[in-house]
Every structure is written in structure tokens, then in C-alpha cells.
Structure 1
Amino acid sequence: MTETVDIALLANLLQEAAAKEILPRFRNLGSDDVRMKSEAIDLVTEADEAAERLIKARVAEFAPSAVFIGEESVAADPLLLDKLSGADLAVVVDPIDGTFNYAAGMPLFGVMASVVAKGETVAGIIYDPMGNDWVIAERGSGAWLCKADGSQERLAVSPGVPLEALVGCASTGFYDPQDRRTIMGNMAKVRIATSYRCAAHEYRAFAGGHFHFLMYKKLMPWDHLAGALISAEAGAYIARFDGSPYTARDLDGGLLLASDRESWELLRREVFTI
């Protein structure tokens, strides 16, 4: 019998990690608790590493055969990422999404986890430690906001609107300078294009109908698998820039999410084209 991951246990685990390792350190980090990774805007903190250690240990208890893919684990062992697409079962975790915000004392960060079975994302969770609630989806079951009091609210993306009325988030930092100038110039065609520097909250807002689109260039699985599934279950149209489906094995090719296919094609043609 194939092992599965209890999504409720996983949701509670993210809450536990936040309560024990993330929130006590929020706005209490010392100078030695924050380190630069690839560049000054790519940070890791003691909270990221401690939270991931806790989550990894707990996952090993209730899903011992699952391959654990955590952002900080992959930073320490990049070859670990190669195991994701071929694993029968994997749990993918971002212990703190929005680390730059977290380290700066801004309350805009989240904890994300997804479950991948034989290369297919089957469940996703985005937990907001500040609001103490979860956005959760299991494939084929819709997307839901689950509140701390046990109540639930089904999520749905916003209906499409004309190009000049579109509001969304776009991450342009991984384009080369010339392409970034082109994209940022094109974004003047929409009403608002911003970035929270936190995919967790961008996906939550989009799936809840508060944004019309999201765009990302770099595709690390811990940043996007949970949010993409949640968005799809909320009714979004999602594809890589070439129109192909987004899967757990994709690390590049860009990702564009919109309220519907017509909006996606409009954005791809008028805004996110080089």
C-alpha cells in the first residue's frame, strides 16, 4: 500500500514550527542570526534552519518513506533536489517564505509545504503565522481558507477584467537588465504590478480573488508547488511562458497565473514578452 501524508497533520506541523521556532525569533534576531546566501537580498536566518529541522523530524515520524525536500536542506546538499521528480512520495517545504521580510521585521512571511506523489503535486498548504490560518488544497477538492477556529471558506480567483484594470504581482529580479527594463515598461499597461517579496502571501491573495495575475521567472519547488496547486483549485489558468503545464520537475521556463485563459494570453502577449 502506498504511503500518504495526512494533510491535517502537515498543516498542524507548520503551525507548530511557527509557534516554536519562527514567531519567538521574529524581531528578536541577533546580528549572527542572519546570513547572506547568494546575494544581499537572499538571506537565511536561524529561524529558517530551526523550523526546517523541526518539520523534517516530524515528517519522518508520520511519513517515514517520504523524501524530504526543504529549501535549507537543498542549500546544504544541492543533489537532494534531483530526488524530487522520481520519488514515489515527497514533502517539499519552505520553512520561511519571505525571509527578507522576516529578517527586516516586516510581518509578511509564510510557511509552505506541498506533497508530491510520483511527480504530481497532490496537496499544498500555505500557513500564515501572523494570522494563524492556512490556505489548503488537495487535488480535485478545491482550495480552502482554514481558520484557527475550525471554520472554512472556499476560495475562488477573481473574474477577468480588461488589461488596464489588472492588478497583480510580478517578480522581475531574475531577468537580465535589458529584459527587466522591457518587462517593467510593459507593466505600465496594467493598473498595478507589484511584488510582496513573499510568494506565500502573493498566492494567498491571488487564490482569494484579490489579484488578477502572478508572474515568476525562477521556479524553485518550495516556492511554487503549493501555491500553484492552490491557485489551480481556486480556478486559475496556469502555465509556463511557452504554454506548457507547470510540474514539480520544472526549475525554469517562467510561470504565469491568471484568472482565466483569455487573461493569461493577454498578459503573455502584451506584458510578459521579450
Structure 2
Amino acid sequence: MSETLPAAVTAPLSRAQKAEILNLVRRAARAEILPRFRRLAPGEIDQKSGPQDLVTEADRAAEAMIARALQRRFPHALIVGEENVASNPGLVAKLAEAETGFTIDPVDGTWNFANGIAAFGVIISMTRYGIPVWGMLYDPLLDDVIEAEAGAPAEYRRGRAPARRLKVSGGGAIEDLGGFASLHLLPEAKRIAMATTFPRFQRLTSLRCACHEFRTFAQGGVDFVLAAGLTPWDHSAGAVIGARAGGVVRLLDGSDYRADRREGYLLAAADEATWNRLRDLWAFLLED
């Protein structure tokens, strides 16, 4: 992933600012997310595009809390939250022109959360003119975080223990790889062809949670992540974290990922050779 930025905008968040954002996310998790886990009433779960695309009161309340605090702390920043975009779809395109942008996925893995499955997280990223420069993948249940910024290593932190630097896997041949991809996010016309490639891998599955898929990739637990249905709140943080953990992160057509992109496929792989093998295998996804 390219980390070339316009002049004078490469400064990352300070250590104090990153700690402040993490504390904000923790407070939102304790106040709005965890008290509702496995306690949601039917009236607190709604559908967006369909029964597989859910939103809960936890999503709405946590996003509102995080967005308000970020806007107070960074008054000139563009705040792009998943739930806010539902009523303001033009916000995503504005990331390309925003010197400072923040994306928020307040409960990534909402389907899991709504069904009592303990695989969900909070995703926050910072962008400069649409380029991800910092990302956080937070697990509310374990209160741990994976974080990275442009020019620095990806790190895992929990409690007061020293931060641990992360490194992606060693990659390999297709038959030796494990990773994440989701059939249901692909265009219907591509799903059968995609499914026929699955038996070639050692393991290919989906967690229904970009937060934990990219966390697993950055820690070397899988060799790749293929993401479709691009949304900045799902993929911006994972893109910068995957790259800073040593991975190769690009769109399947070879172009650099940008947070304002909504079309295409994001492929994160352990190394250049593995990325190229996967690109060649799935090149049909780019065909009309």
C-alpha cells in the first residue's frame, strides 16, 4: 500500500492523542456495546439492506458517542461513521479532499453481535486526503488493541504489558495458504466461479467481521484477506495495519487502496509472491 502523502501532512497522531482515542473507544464499549451484548431486545435490532445486514442500538449509540468526542477533539476533521453514512452517503467521497478524516465502525461484525457470537470489534482509522495513515482494531471483550500508523510497525497491546510488534505469515503456494473471503459480498454472477477456487486452499473461511479478520492476518494467523464491498469503516484501518505488519495490501487491479474507494476488491497478502499468485487466481473477478 502506498504511503505517499501530500507535503506537510505526514505527521502522525501524537502518543497522547492515540491514547485519548483508545480511552474514548473503551468508554463507548463499556457504556454502549458490552451492556447490550446477548441482551438485545427484538426491537433493538433492525435490518438495513436485508436480513444479513443488521444494525443495533449498540451500533447507533456507540457511533454517536465516538463521533461527538472525535469532533470535539478534532473540530476540523471529517467524521465518517458507518451508521451516519446510511443517511449521508456523500460523506465517503469527501474523504478524498479532507486533510484529516476519521472513519468509525462502532460494532464491526454486527450480525455476530446481534446473534450472540463473540467475534466483533470497534474499528477506527485516520486518513489524510483519502489515504489511511493510522488504524485501530479494538476487541471490546478482551480490551486489547492492534494499532499501526504510517512509517511505524503494527503493534498489539493489552493492559500494561509491553507492546508486541506484529508480523504477517510467510505466505506460500496456493495449496499451503489459509485466509478469509466472503462469497456473499461478491456479485452474484461471480460466486460460483469463486467457490470453485476454495478447495485449492488449505483453509478458506469468513469470520463475518473485518476487525478480527485483519487482526488475524496482521498476527500471521492467516496468509491473506480478500475484501469485497469496500467501505472505509471496514477496510481503512486493516489496510494500514496489514501493510505495517509487513503485508502487501492493494486493490486486486494493482492500484493503491484509498478510503474513498467503494468499487473493487481489496487483497491483503503475506508477501509480493503470494499476492501475485492470488491476483492471478482471482483475476476473473475484474472481468465484466
TM-score (norm 2): 0.91
Structure 1 stretches of at least 4 aligned residues deviating more than 4 Å after TM superposition: 1-5
Q: By how many angstroms is 1:80 displaced?
A: 2.1
1:126 lines up with 2:166 in the alignment: no
SS in 2 for 1:84: helix
Deviation at 1:209, TM superposition (A): 0.4
Matched, 1:7 2:13: no
Once residues 178 and 49 of structure 1 are traced to their aligned partners in structure 2, the CA distance between those partners, rounded to angstroms, is 33
Aligned to 2:267: 256
| 264-273 or 181-190: bigger deviation | 264-273
Tell me if structure 2 keeps the 8 A contact 1:4–1:63: no
Question: Are positions 1:225 and 2:224 aligned together?
Answer: no
Is the Cα contact below 8 Å between 1:143 and 1:233 reproduced in 2?
yes
Alpha-carbon distance change, 247 to 33 in structure 1, aligned in 2, over 3 angstroms: same
In structure 2, distance between residues paired with 1:237 and 1:79 = 29
Cα shift readout 1:230-267 (whole Å, capped 9, x = no counterpart): 00000001111111111122111111111011101111
Equivalent residue in structure 2 for 1:23, among 27, 34, 38: 34
Read off the aligned partner of 2:98 and give its amino acid letter: A
- Report how many residues are paired: 274
Give the deviation of 1:272 after TM superposition: 5.5
1:117: Cα distance to partner? 1.6
2:56 aligned with 1:45 = yes
Superposed counterparts of 1:164-203, under 5 Å: 164-203=175-214
Does the Cα contact within 8 Å between 1:189 and 1:271 map onto a contact in 2? no
Structure 2 residue aligned with 1:140, among 151, 156, 161?
A: 151
Q: Does 1:158 align with 2:179?
A: no
**Partners of 1:214 and 1:169 in 2: CA distance:** 5
Amino acid at match of 2:280: R
Bigger shift: 188-197 or 148-157? 148-157
Matched letter for residue 214 of structure 1? V
1:108–1:201 CA contact under 8 A, matched in 2: yes
Q: Which residue of 2 aligns with 1:205?
A: 216
Instruction: Output the CA distance in 2 between the equivalents of 1:190 and 1:248.
Output: 29
Separation (CA, whole Å) in 1 of partners of 2:272 and 2:18:
30
- TM-score normalised per structure 1: 0.96
> Structure 1: 5+ residue runs without aligned partners?
none
Give the distance between the partners of 2:189 and 2:131, measured in 1 at CA. 35
Tell me, yes or no, if the aligned pair for 2:12 and 2:150 is still in contact at 8 Å.
no
Task: Give the C-alpha shift of residue 4 in structure 1.
Answer: 7.1
| Match of residue 4 from structure 2 | none
What whole-Å deviation, never above 9, does each CA across 1:181-208 have from its counterpart, x for those lacking one?
1011112111110000000000000000
State the Cα deviation string for residues 81-112 of structure 1 (Å, max 9, x = none): 23211111111100000000000000100000
Give how far 1:155 is off.
0.3
How much does 1:176 deviate? 2.8
Residues 183 and 272, structure 1, Cα contact 8 Å, conserved in 2: no
Aligned mate of 1:235, from 246, 261, 277: 246
Relative to structure 1, is the Cα distance of residues 64 and 243 closer, same or farther in structure 2, using a 3 angstrom cutoff? same
Q: Is the 8 Å Cα contact of residues 241 and 253 (structure 1) preserved in structure 2?
A: yes
Q: 2-side partners of 1:38 and 1:83: how far apart?
A: 23
**2:39 is paired with a residue of what secondary structure?**
coil
Give the 3 Å change call, closer, same or farther, for CA 172–129 of structure 1 in structure 2: same
Q: In 1, distance between residues paired with 2:282 and 2:203?
A: 12
Per mean C-alpha deviation after superposition, the further-off stretch among 47-56 and 10-19 is 10-19
* Match among 114, 117, 128 for residue 128 of structure 2: 117
Q: Which residue of structure 1 lines up, in the alignment, with residue 72 of structure 2?
A: 61
Percent identity, aligned pairs only, is 40
In 1: Cα distance, 2:187 partner to 2:219 partner: 32
Write the distance in 2 (CA, Å) between the matches of 1:141 and 1:20.
31
How far, CA to CA, are the matches of 2:217 and 2:36 in structure 1?
A: 28
1:172: how far off? 2.0
